[in-house]
Amino acid sequence: MIKVAAAVIVSDGKILAAKRKNERLGGGFWEFPGGKLEPGETPKQACQREVAEELGDQCEVLERIEVSRHFTTPYGELEIDFFWTKLKTYNLKLVAASEYRWLTPEQLASVTWLKPSEPVLEVIKQTDLRKFE
């Protein structure tokens, strides 16, 4: 089981979407920034570390999103914790992604998401994002 943490980053009523680099597994698909937990790391700590590594930014992890967490993928069994997150800095370096887009909840369907991200999309559409401002 691969344990992963992902940041659903909110700013001004929009969500940050990241397009995976083509040479990476799942390349060309969109996802929320994040990655595997390191030994002894909590999902919240992993979320903060991954945002720092992938975007070069500091973030505030607000709360875990209650969605399905277990997925079977071609690269193994995943357990993902998704977190509502706010950026403290806005460097947005392209380390793991080839592109970032700030999307409104209505625009989320305009890109093709990795399957494990899909349950979160419905939660986002049903959430008043103003509560995270």
- Mean pLDDT rounded to a whole number for the chain: 93
Q: Domain 2-119's class?
A: alpha beta
Residue 11 has phi, psi (to 5 degrees) of -155, 125
Residues ≥6 apart with Cβ < 8 Å to 64: 43, 81, 82, 83, 84
> Between 68 and 19, where is the model more confident?
19
The DSSP-derived string for 44-58 is HHHHHHHHHHHHS--
DSSP bridge partners of 15: 10, 103
Domain ranges of the chain: 2-119
Residue 115 pLDDT level (bands cut at 50, 70, 90): confident
Residues ≥6 apart with Cβ < 8 Å to 108: 15, 17, 121, 124, 125
Euclidean distance between CA atoms 118 and 68, whole angstroms: 10
Euclidean distance between CA atoms 40 and 132, whole angstroms: 29
Residues ≥6 apart with Cβ < 8 Å to 47: 5, 6, 7, 34, 59, 61, 81, 83, 85
Name the helix (H) or strand (E) containing 78.
strand 76-87
> Between 96 and 47, where is the model more confident?
47
Predicted local distance difference test score (pLDDT) of residue 26: 65
Give residue-wise pLDDT tens across range 54-106: 999 999 999 999 987 888 877 788 899 999 999 999 999 999 899 999 999 99
